[in-house]
Amino acid sequence: MWIISRLDVMMAFRKMSLTQLSEATGISMANLSILKTGKARAVRFSTLSVICQELQCQPGDLLEFDPRALPPDEEPLA
């Protein structure tokens, strides 16, 4: 089971690039990239709040729980 990041989907809905989100939130592009690719091990509520405020969304719009999914480091090769 794994939490899947939908940050890329919400950014696309808002027509916002990673650079624009970084500048608007003050969160580094490196940290946003880690969140966007689903490689984050944790996320602070303050970070989630700033992203939600900027994208005008709810935390559930950014994160999805999938009991069948594997963590990124356990994905099958082929």
Domain boundaries, the chain: 2-67
Token couple for 41? 């091990």
**Residue-level pLDDT at 2:** 83
Q: What is the 3-state secondary structure (H, E, C) of the chain?
A: CEEEECHHHHHHHCCCCHHHHHHHHCCCHHHHHHHHCCCCCCCCHHHHHHHHHHHCCCHHHHEEEECCCCCHHHCCCC
> 2-67: what fold?
434 Repressor (Amino-terminal Domain) (1.10.260)
pLDDT per residue, tens digit, the chain (78 aa), is 588 999 999 999 999 999 999 999 999 999 999 999 988 989 999 999 999 999 999 999 999 998 887 766 665 545
Distance of alpha carbon 58 from alpha carbon 69, whole angstroms:
22
Token couple for 71? 């963590």
